[in-house]
């Protein structure tokens, strides 16, 4: 199937996305295969326990070509993203609006900023202006380290790049301002525990 962006460019899955798709085919015994899996499991725990309602946003897609020989064998041949995606997750906890992006890298010493897109940064700035809680969860895949980076720090590094500075965030910089998130059992990535300390809710 050809999946296209609004500008008509063909969407190609990255190796990381392919790995995520394959990981979802494994049984639940393979926990922690991807950051997305861990966050989704965490959000399910929050929902089940009545702690928060936070979901992954669906990406709107417009289907333009379907091979429709019969109802049971219909196959989508071509589709387009209707609009650029904003962030991965949003929801509410104790009356607080929460909006965040989750990214991972194979790099050991820095986090490339090309993992983020201009429209995502613009969206996060709009959320911050409305006093929503906005942040990113970053994972260094090689070392299995996960950090919660508040949006104002991401904006600083993004603006630094636009001004001709580094195109990545050094790991030391992340360690200096971000909050490490340990992997647990239930929940897997308890990012709300950190947010409650930061924002006192």
3-state secondary structure of 174: helix
Q: Tell me: the pLDDT tens digits for 134-176?
A: 999 999 999 999 999 999 999 999 999 999 999 999 999 999 9
179: Cβ contacts below 8 Å, ≥ 6 apart = 147, 148, 149, 194, 198
Q: Cα angle vertex 135, ends 131, 138, to 5°?
A: 180
What is the DSSP code (8-state) at residue 122? H
pLDDT-based confidence at residue 79 (cuts at 50, 70, 90)? low
Helix H or strand E encompassing 194: helix 191-199
178: Cβ contacts below 8 Å, ≥ 6 apart = 138, 147, 148, 149, 150, 153
pLDDT, averaged across the chain: 85
% of the chain residues with pLDDT over 70: 77
Average pLDDT over residues 97-122: 96
Q: What is the pLDDT of residue 23?
A: 37
Q: 65 is in which domain, residue-wise?
A: 2-199
**15-38: string of b/e by CB count within 10 Å (b at 16+)?**
ebeeebeeeeeeeeeeeeebbbbb
pLDDT-based confidence at residue 78 (cuts at 50, 70, 90)? confident
150 φ, ψ (degrees, to nearest 5): -65, 150
65 φ, ψ (degrees, to nearest 5): -145, 125
Q: How many domains does the chain have?
A: 1
CATH number for the domain spanning 49: value is: 3.40.1350.10
Residue 34, pLDDT > 80, answer yes
Q: What is the pLDDT of residue 28?
A: 39
Residue 41, pLDDT > 90, answer yes
């Amino acid at each position: 199937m050809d999946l296209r962006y609004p500008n008509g460019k063909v969407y190609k899955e990255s190796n990381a996305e392919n790995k995520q798709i394959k990981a979802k085919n494994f049984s639940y015994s393979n926990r922690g295969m991807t950051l997305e899996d861990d966050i989704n499991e965490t959000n399910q725990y929050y929902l089940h326990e009545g702690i928060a309602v936070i979901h992954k946003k669906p990406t709107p897609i417009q289907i333009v070509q379907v091979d429709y020989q019969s109802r049971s064998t219909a196959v989508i041949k071509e589709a387009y993203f209707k609009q650029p995606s904003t962030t991965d997750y949003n929801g509410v906890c104790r009356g607080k609006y929460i909006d965040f992006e989750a990214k991972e890298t194979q790099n050991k010493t820095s986090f490339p900023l090309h993992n983020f897109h201009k429209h995502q940064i613009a969206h996060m700035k709009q959320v911050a202006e409305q006093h929503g809680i906005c942040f990113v969860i970053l994972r260094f895949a090689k070392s299995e380290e996960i950090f919660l980076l508040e949006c104002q720090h991401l904006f600083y590094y993004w603006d630094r790049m636009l001004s001709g500075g580094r195109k990545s965030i050094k790991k030391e910089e992340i360690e200096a301002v971000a909050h490490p998130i340990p992997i647990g059992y239930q929940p897997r990535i308890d990012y709300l525990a950190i947010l409650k300390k930061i924002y006192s809710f």
